Amino acid sequence: MPEVLPAAEVANGRVRYQEEVTGGLENAPQAFMGMLEGRNFGKALVRVASAVGTPSTTNGA
């Protein structure tokens, strides 16, 4: 099996991935600790802005 999965496998749904997005830079420490403690599955991301010049919400989205 190749180390890198082809984008086609993701696009056709054969391979799926999950992202856990935490909203707000102020919540980054909790997101980081959750990642270190294994509380997330997949990619752990922190959204610091929802669009250029627009602050992020802090409701976890």
The mean per-residue pLDDT over the stretch 39-53 comes to 86
Share of the chain above pLDDT 70, in %: 75
pLDDT digits (tens, 9 = 90+) for 15-44: 888 899 999 999 999 999 999 999 988 899
Q: Provide the pLDDT for residue 14.
A: 86
**């909203």: which residue's tokens?**
23
Render 42-61 in DSSP notation, one character per residue: SEEEEE-EEETTEEPPSS--
51 compared with 19, residue with greater pLDDT: 19
Report the alpha-carbon distance of residue 49 to residue 28 in Å, rounded. 13
